Amino acid sequence: MSLIFYTCIIAFLLYVLLSTLRTFLLNRNPASRKPLPPGPKPWPIVGNLPHLGTMPHQTMAALARTYGPLMHLRLGSVDVVVAASGAVAEQFLKVHDANFLNRPPNSGAVHIAYNYQDLVFAPYGPRWRLLRKVSAVHLFSAKALDDFRHVRQEEVAVLTRDLASAGNAPVHLNQLLSVCTTNALSRVMFGKRVFGGGGDSKADEFKQMVVEAMVLAGVFNIGDFIPALEWFDLQGVVGKMKKLHVRFDSFLTAILEEHKTTGSRGGGKHVDLLSTLISLKDNDLAGEGEKLSDTEIKALLLNMFIAGTDTSSSTVEWALAELIRHPKILAQAQQELDEVVGRDRLVSESDLSQLTFFQAIIKETFRLHPSTPLSLPRMAAESCEINGYFIPKGSTVLVNVWAIARDPDIWAEPLEFRPQRFLPGGEKANVDVKGNDFEVIPFGAGRRVCAGLSLGLRMVQLVTATLVHSFDWELADGQKPEELNMEEGYGLTLQRAKPLKVHPRPRLSEHVYQA
């Protein structure tokens, strides 16, 4: 015991010595080198970690108002640069994108995402390009999305019937949304629904697992920034990650093994993603000896489940909450839907392009409530210069998507929910959310933009349009719209601090809600 104790003390002292030496060398700032970006003075050893608080995206936005849109933080031994304006984000994600293609080391990638064998955290290179190509062709291409359009519409119809059957009982919307998005995705990925209705205990458990993964992934784990303390797991984060990984791996392994035995359940001409992956498993997909392993298949499925379910359901929940708080905007959206769709059927994906005002509502929701408030981190492969400041090799880059979309220099009344800003004649009529316009980048941008952008957009639009069109909405417990709590709960994704509890009141012809 004493030997372990003294070894830890020696390791920690060596870390402090090396960290101090590195800081000294970095800050010598020869005349030939530009200064680091401005930022708050770091504390000894821990740096600026204590400054982050419980809502880092909000804290960093506040700090940026003092230190500017390109800010330097010292988190333990790691240099972190934060982009808090669209112009600065464009420098990192477009102009210098090739220098920031990899992720920095982090415990989530090791202990949850199969040790960097997934698409989200894999190093940029042949393996990453292989996983990206497979998912792009077989899940996210225009053809793949159109082939499985009927699946999304069928699952949204199930959601609608479940809500219509609630009667006078209030519903927790987030759980039903989670079931809908998860089943829609699972039918595409492996040809079957994984959950029953909103009362399915397995669905409740899975929702909790996904939320826990997002919360853990959003924690600034001390061990990631102070390697000498990694072994101690002071916050208990790594232990929780390991336990959560076991649960996810058991879930995914069962699906994979069953699918190997039973084969595709997609039916007809549409083959599910997992069957495709299994059929490609022993093939040289890239012509360079690149083949998929079972672990990589599970890691890819894990990405799809975590990134493709909770992000969509939480965005829909935020959209509906905003519309309940703004009844005039809700009424205007319903009027447009009635004119385009009528009251004798549900919304279909083919209707969405005709809903100009509704599309503006979706953009405004993504602006105020981006599903990922802080972008997934990137790392500088080489030292470079951005806006006259020195960015050291190995720096972690964070893009504060939340702050960018609330920048008062770019957005009029940035804290107000104003879909009109995206309409023809509005201040941002031509801005999209697909990573081309850096004023609002909920899916990121550049080569590592969210792979599921197109699917996420379709799902959020279809579900939200259907809920707005099919129901009038009342808050539970007699709560008034202006009293609705809009506080955020932090994780890797932006959850509502208090889930939305509502009474849905059917407004379409009765036969629409029948199976």
| Dihedral sign of CA atoms 144, 146, 148, 151 in order | positive
Domain with 415 in it: what CATH number?
1.10.630.10
Q: What is the pLDDT of residue 138?
A: 85
* pLDDT value at 240 more than 70: yes
Look at residue 107 and tell me if it is in a domain: yes
Hey, how many other C-beta atoms are within 10 angstroms of the C-beta on 55?
16
Q: Distance of alpha carbon 154 from its chain centroid, rounded?
A: 24
Q: Residue 25 and residue 19: Cα distance in Å, rounded?
A: 10
Q: What is the pLDDT of residues 50-66, one digit of tens each?
A: 999 989 999 999 999 99
* pLDDT value at 236 more than 80: yes
Q: What is the pLDDT of residue 270?
A: 63
* pLDDT value at 159 more than 80: yes
Q: Residue 154 and residue 165: Cα distance in Å, rounded?
A: 17
The whole-number average pLDDT for the span 374-378 is: 96
The band of 96, judged by pLDDT with boundaries at 50, 70 and 90, is very high
Q: What is the pLDDT of residues 262-318, one digit of tens each?
A: 865 555 556 788 888 888 776 655 455 567 889 999 999 999 988 888 899 999 999
Look at residue 281 and tell me if it is in a domain: yes
Q: Residue 213 and residue 210: Cα distance in Å, rounded?
A: 5
Q: Which domain holds residue 242?
A: 34-513
How many helices (H) and strands (E) the chain has is answered by 18, 11
Look at residue 29 and tell me if it is in a domain: no
Q: What is the pLDDT of residues 308-363, one digit of tens each?
A: 888 999 999 999 999 999 999 999 999 999 999 999 999 999 999 999 999 999 99
The band of 7, judged by pLDDT with boundaries at 50, 70 and 90, is very low
Q: What is the pLDDT of residues 482-509, one digit of tens each?
A: 999 999 987 788 999 999 999 999 999 9
Look at residue 166 and tell me if it is in a domain: yes
The band of 67, judged by pLDDT with boundaries at 50, 70 and 90, is very high
Q: What is the pLDDT of residue 194?
A: 84
Look at residue 20 and tell me if it is in a domain: no
The whole-number average pLDDT for the span 64-74 is: 98
The whole-number average pLDDT for the span 215-243 is: 94
Q: Which residues pair with 384 in a beta bridge?
A: 391
Domains in the chain, number: 1
Q: What is the pLDDT of residue 264?
A: 58
CB 174 within 8 A of CB 500: yes
Q: Let me know how long the chain is.
A: 515
Segment 140-149 long-range contacts (CB within 8 Å, at least 24 positions apart): 140/451, 140/452, 140/453, 140/454, 140/455, 142/454, 145/454, 145/455, 145/458, 147/269, 147/270, 148/187, 148/188, 148/270, 149/349
Nearest to 63 by CA among 46, 77, 80: 80
The helix or strand, by DSSP H or E, that contains position 427, with its residue range, turns out to be none
Mean pLDDT of all residues in the chain?
A: 90
Q: Which residue has the tokens 């793949």?
A: 144
Query: Is 450 annotated for ligand binding?
Result: yes
Q: What is the pLDDT of residues 189-199, one digit of tens each?
A: 888 888 875 55
Look at residue 4 and tell me if it is in a domain: no
* pLDDT value at 2 more than 60: no
Q: Residue 154 and residue 183: Cα distance in Å, rounded?
A: 10
* pLDDT value at 38 more than 50: yes
Burial class (CB in 10 A: 0-12, 13-18, 19+), 360: buried
* pLDDT value at 20 more than 60: no
Look at residue 5 and tell me if it is in a domain: no
Look at residue 1 and tell me if it is in a domain: no
